[in-house]
Amino acid sequence: MSEMLEKARKYEFIQGQQIKEEERPAFHITPYVGWMNDPNGFSYYKGEYHLFYQYNPYSTHWDSMHWGHVVSKDLLHWNYVPTALAPDEDYDKFGCFSGSAIELEDGRQLLMYTSVNQEKLEDGTVRDIQTQAVAVGDGKDYEKYDKNPVLTAKDLPKGASKVDFRDPKIWKGNDGNFYCVIGSRPADGSGQILLYRSKNGFEWEFVSILAKNQNRYGKMWECPDFFELDGKYVLLTSPQDMLPEGLEFHNGNGTLCIIGELDPETHTLKEQFCQGIDYGIDYYAMQTLLAPDGRRIMIAWMQNWDTLAYRCNDSGWFAQMSLPRELSVKNGRLYQVPIRELNAMRANKVEYNNVVIKDTRLTLDQIEGRTVD
């Protein structure tokens, strides 16, 4: 274990225990301490749901991206696990950015993430360079691959930026290969989604440009996810700098769902329907998993980059995840409902009817607690 990772684990263990349980939401995931953004590595592994997240344990503001980690049996009650990744290698010393997780054939869990370094230009300025790296572990401790990064600028299609090349989402294909989609910025300055393939999860090759924005929906497309659902192929992504279209896309940094057919020859998505995913102001960087019972379940960062200044900053932690949602496709639309595990929380019903509320001091027997539905 590197000194940087050990430091993060010690710090969060001490500081996280100072935050009382009642100072956190009952069901929404919060960082153990410090800052949280994008969900990462949402997966089912060794009988538990795992969720990693973009994490800065040392401050309630974005900086020095680590991977935080929580696990759950029911997607509602989460336990903290020590920090999974720290930016402790030359290729990721400016951050372990967003990514995903999958189980390998040998039973280990593979994490795939965006590793960020910087380069100095001729005029003396510096810029980020984004590559993709992997780490393997047992659900608690992870070791970075000694041949990282596994995808670099040489693996990009012509015109694609090595500055905006991030957020790999990995899955296992029906052909036995691993695949991942990655957000990219092409020469036109907008966004596109790249598709890559691997036989083992460590050695990758470019397959195609799966989908192109062509300056229709915002600019850079971040945090893509791609899966088959109810006979259709679904692409989820979070575009930056979106402009409203009627009732859609009012959040600036928003959400986009494209539903269509996959061309097996060209490996491109043929769009049929497009929609926003959430109409509130706090929903970004969605990620899904395929549950053991076949459900496609989605979670997201319950925050928006445009509203970060509006907050109370005395809690020791900042930001939280949405409640997970079950997805389906009907009549060309993405449908979302709360996970059915919530039903188990409803018991011992107490009901009052025709009660007149005259002031704020009304007390009703057995109506108490800190949660409400």
Furthest CA-CA distance within the chain: 75
How is 128-153 classified by DSSP, letter by letter? Answer: EEEEEEEEEESSS-EEE-TT--SB-G
Catalytic hit among 38, 88, 155, 167: 38
Residue 92 bears catalytic tag: no
Cα–Cα distance, 360 to 341 (Å, whole number): 33
> Of the candidates 198, 203, 196, 207, which has an alpha carbon nearest to the alpha carbon of residue 167?
196
Q: H or E stretch including 286?
A: strand 284-290
> Of the candidates 21, 23, 8, which has an alpha carbon nearest to the alpha carbon of residue 85?
8
Task: Show Cβ contacts of residue 299 under 8 Å, excluding neighbours closer than 6 positions.
Answer: 39, 42, 51, 286, 287, 288, 321, 322, 323, 324, 325
Tokens 């996810």 sit at which residue?
A: 225
Q: Which residues participate in catalysis according to the annotation?
A: 38
